[in-house]
Amino acid sequence: MEALAPSTIALLILTVTIILFATGKIPLAVTAVAAALAMGIFGVIPFSKAFAGFSNDVTLMVMGSIVIGETLFETGVAQKMGTTIIKMVGTNERLFIIVCVVLAAVLSAFLSNTAVVAMMMPVVAATAASSKGKITKKGSYMAIGFAANVGGGMTLVGSTPNVIGQGLLSDNGLEVMSFFDLTLGSIPRLLFMVAFYATIGYTLQKKVFNFEETYEENSPSVQEDGQEGRSVFKMAVSAAILVFAVAGFVTGIWTVGTVAMAAALLCVLTGCISLKNLFLRMDWNTVWVLAGSLGFAAGISESGAGQLIADFFIGLLGENISMFQLLLVFTFISVLLGNLMSSTATMAMLGPIAISMCASLGFEAKPVIMVIIWALNLAFLTPTATVPVTMTLQGGYRFLDYTKIGAILMLGCLALTVITYPFVFHL
């Protein structure tokens, strides 16, 4: 009996992986690592390449960035930033939401967007509890989750799809993204989001969120948010480490993984976070999903499976497709899949296909990877596709609440994103 070709085996693994990613029956981390393992077991690629994602510079960057974010939370810098803004804004809920949206987006551009949501929600809950109903969790939580998504698409380190895309470009020897390449296309989306919540969004929320606000007993006030006992020295040191990391990312003095890990090491050596707390708070799920996805994607690419899929789509679209048309195709496919399944899984699946198609058509791959990232960060229709939005379920929202609010936001942001393509990519 003739053995199956590596490309055929890779396509079978891809099919099973897509089903598992979409159904969520098995944790994403388990699925991603199992897919990489299968690529090695069935001889699609060597084991050294199947698990190379665990030592990939992008994976190291994610790990280091998580440590930095947790350190800022541990030392109280993150809470201090939040409470300072709150004291400036007061209890005008509309203005409070706008400030939260901007703050969540900006912070998510430099820190993990999941960590930003985790950081801001307790501060919002404390503010709601002390505002006598003038500010509500249900009015703010969802907006913070959506803003963290948009902010996550503003720089290289904001969300997992970004770093997976960067890893795919790097692994294939292609031009990679600089730290701020994603920023220009993201700014119009943030401005639209601010305008939305300043106008019809706030009014719409009042109508849609017709359930009772819940309050935790003994919720702390904004002034009593755990700042007592914080070391001013450690706060200053952790803030300086953040500045160092951002400067390192921007200047490119070392690789992004080296900068992030150096900053993480400084966090531990200076006593800003203990090694025990570092391991306890590390988002191992993200690390394993990322590392496994890179190995899985390598199998799709090196086996020729990605090329087969690319050739199939090129046959449907025609070889005369323009770069703008290709960007549109991947934009709409990505935003559709990104609202139905994990954005991380979608990038792991679409990235290798996009790179193969670009190679066949003679186009640069970087712009296509960028538009996939932007589209995946518009997962507003359901609470299940991205972790930052899933976390906001604590606000008491129902499933369709996300669809009712998120549909307008997604369509507006999507239109603005597409409009920027000719300017951003000089088409």
| Tokens 């199939």 -> residue | 312
What pLDDT does residue 46 have? 94
Give the whole-angstrom CA distance, residue 78 versus residue 276.
20
Q: In whole angstroms, how far apart are CA 412 and each of 80, 147, 196, 405, 407? A: 33, 14, 9, 12, 9
326 and 363 Cβ atoms separated by less than 8 Å: yes
Q: Is 345 helix (H, G, I), strand (E, B) or coil?
A: helix
Q: In whole angstroms, how far apart are CA 351 and each of 225, 256, 285, 297, 356? A: 42, 20, 20, 8, 9
| Close Cβ partners of 134 (under 8 Å, ≥ 6 residues apart) | 91, 92, 93
Q: Whole-structure pTM over 0.75, yes or no?
A: no
Q: Report residues of the chain scoring pLDDT below 70.
A: 1-2, 22, 24, 58, 78-79, 81-83, 85-86, 122, 126, 214-230, 250, 340-341, 384-385
What pLDDT does residue 348 have? 81
What pLDDT does residue 385 have? 65
What pLDDT does residue 225 have? 45
Nearest-CA neighbor of 134 among 120, 124, 146?
124
Give the whole-angstrom CA distance, residue 12 versus residue 233.
55
| Close Cβ partners of 413 (under 8 Å, ≥ 6 residues apart) | 150, 189, 192, 193, 378
Eight-class DSSP state of 382? -
The tokens for 54 are: 């665990």
Counting other chains too, the contacts that 382-387 makes at CB distance below 8 Å and 24 or more residues apart are 382/339, 382/340, 384/24, 385/338, 385/339, 385/340, 385/341, 385/342, 385/343, 386/149, 386/159, 386/338, 386/342, 386/343, 387/114
Eight-class DSSP state of 394? G
Q: In whole angstroms, how far apart are CA 38 and each of 13, 33, 130, 143, 206? A: 7, 9, 53, 39, 49
* Model confidence pLDDT, tens digit, residues 164-221: 899 899 989 999 999 899 999 999 999 999 999 999 999 999 999 988 886 544 444 4
What pLDDT does residue 2 have? 66
Return the H-helix or E-strand segment holding 35: helix 28-41
User: Dihedral (C-alpha) 62, 150, 425, 56: value to the nearest 10 degrees?
Assistant: 10
What pLDDT does residue 223 have? 42
Domain boundaries, given as residue ranges, for the chain: 7-424
What pLDDT does residue 79 have? 67
| Helix residue ranges, H only, 217-363 | 232-251, 256-269, 275-281, 284-302, 305-317, 323-338, 343-361
Nearest-CA neighbor of 118 among 286, 344, 348?
286
DSSP structure string for 129-140: HHTTTSS-HHHH
Nearest-CA neighbor of 358 among 301, 414, 415?
301
Q: In whole angstroms, how far apart are CA 237 and each of 130, 264, 272, 382, 415? A: 31, 12, 8, 39, 42
Give the whole-angstrom CA distance, residue 265 versus residue 275.
10
What pLDDT does residue 384 have? 67
SS3 of the chain: helix, strand, coil, percent, to 5: 75, 0, 25
The tokens for 67 are: 């440590």
What pLDDT does residue 206 have? 92
| Tokens 């239109």 -> residue | 415
